[in-house]
Amino acid sequence: MRRLEERVAALESRPPAAPPAQTKGATADVIALEERLAAVEQRLMAGEGEAPAAGAGAPAAAPDARLDERRGRRERLRDVTNQYRDRLAAIRQETNDPLARQQAVREALQWYRDSRRAVLAGEEPEPLDSVRR
């Protein structure tokens, strides 16, 4: 896997062999990237039976810890989103006055944004009860 990453990095760092003359801008970049990807995929398929590179034994603990951290963060974000949706549903059912409903939705939206920022920064979000009902 490490060897493959090194090859991809080497391919990405070198300029394309012959830039297409008839294409311009982003189209030329997309074509060049597709060609590089096809070359890497061919090499990967050709080297499928190779033994793993030296030092490519068991995965390190750090990636697992980061993966667990990301999973936990996604779970907290899901909880915040569910709380926000529940709050919006409650606002729709409880509030008949359009101005009061609009204000309540704004406050809930501000709480939602602040909570997402807190979770992404690794902090605990403010409880939903702090938003005026």
CB 32 within 8 A of CB 18: no
Q: CA-CA distance, 38 to 32, in Å (whole number)?
A: 10
User: What pLDDT is recorded for position 113?
Assistant: 93
Name the residue ranges covered by the structural domains of the chain: 2-46, 61-130
- What's the CA gap between 124 and 118, in Å, rounded? 6
Greater confidence, 54 or 33? 33
pLDDT at 29 (0 to 100): 74
Instruction: Check: CB of residue 108 under 8 Å from CB of residue 132.
Output: no
Euclidean distance between CA atoms 65 and 91, whole angstroms:
39
Q: Could you report the per-residue pLDDT of 65-123, keeping only the tens digit for each?
A: 888 888 888 999 999 999 999 999 999 999 899 999 999 999 999 999 999 999 988 88
The rounded distance, in Å, linking the Cα atoms of 126 and 133 is 15
Report which of residues 29 and 52 the model is more confident about: 29
Q: For 128, which DSSP code?
A: G
Q: How many CB atoms lie within 10 A of CB 37?
A: 12
Q: Is the pLDDT of residue 4 over 60?
A: yes
**Per-residue model confidence (pLDDT) at position 70:** 86
pLDDT for 48: 60
Residue 97 pLDDT: 93
Report pLDDT for 54.
Answer: 47
Predicted TM-score (pTM) of this structure: 0.50
Q: How far apart are CA 19 and CA 32, in angstroms?
A: 8
Instruction: For residue 91, give both structure tokens.
Output: 């606002």
Helix (H) and strand (E) counts in the chain: 4, 0
Torsion-angle region of residue 116: left (phi > 0), alpha (psi -120 to 50) or beta?
A: alpha
